[in-house]
Amino acid sequence: MDTIQKRYGYTGQGLRVNLTTGNITKEPTFPRFKDEIGGTALGYRVFWDEVPPKTQPLDEANKIVIAPGPFSGSGALCSSRTSITTIYPTIYPMPMIASAHIGGDMAARLKQAGYDFIIIEGKSEKPVYLYINNDNFELRDAKGIWGQGTPAAVSVPSSAPRSSKASSFRATSRSTSMPTRKNGRRSPNATSICSVL
């Protein structure tokens, strides 16, 4: 990618992670996603273009698209949301494409690292997780963290097809003191911190 076209709230590039081959490549955001606004719209566009209509949740053809909104990392109020789009197995009787939305600072961190989206595809033979530090990104062995619970961690939704997609998107979380008012409600300066590994 010699020229990265940045505009508005977009960095101009994203990552495609192939779990089958282990390859991670950069892809331009534009012109492909020029008409989509936000992480959910971008995720649905990927599914429209790339995933066959009768794909089931545990099929290798299923994908996971992680995409923050355009204002993420800008400091705009309530803007740090990340959309995770996939075909979920929890919708009975027929699995359907859906998006989960998470808060925390993962959206801002992904934008600050320089990426508008992550497309995860394929199937890994062993548990792995995706490490991103700006232009340094790689799949790493997740044997040491595989099977741990979700408290104090951000991960691919528990309903996502873990057995097919042997991947983990992990972050640690810690909370600062949460001062409360006399009526039991949190004070405006109560904060929590989540940092992506």
pLDDT per residue as tens digits for the range 106-161: 999 999 999 999 999 999 999 999 999 999 999 999 999 888 876 554 444 434 44
Q: End-to-end alpha-carbon separation of the chain, Å?
A: 26
Separation between Cα atoms, residue 162 and residue 155, nearest integer Å: 11
Instruction: Tell whether 8 is covered by a domain.
Output: no
Give me the number of domains the chain comprises: 1
The CA angle 38-39-40, to the nearest 5 degrees, is: 95
| Confidence grade of residue 74 (pLDDT, cut at 50, 70, 90) | confident
| Mean pLDDT on 167-172 | 40
Question: Is pLDDT of 192 > 60?
Answer: no
Max intra-chain CA distance, the chain = 58
Q: For position 108, which CATH number holds?
A: 3.60.9.10
Closest alpha carbon to 171 in 108, 123, 119: 108
Instruction: Tell whether 2 is covered by a domain.
Output: no
Instruction: Tell whether 7 is covered by a domain.
Output: no
Range of the domain at 106: 13-196
Instruction: Tell whether 184 is covered by a domain.
Output: yes
In the sheet with 153-154, reading across from the earlier edge strand, the strands are 153-154, 171-175, 192-196
pLDDT for res 151: 57
Instruction: Tell whether 135 is covered by a domain.
Output: yes
Instruction: Tell whether 112 is covered by a domain.
Output: yes
Entry pTM: 0.73
With beta carbons less than 8 A apart as the criterion, state whether 196 and 66 touch.
no
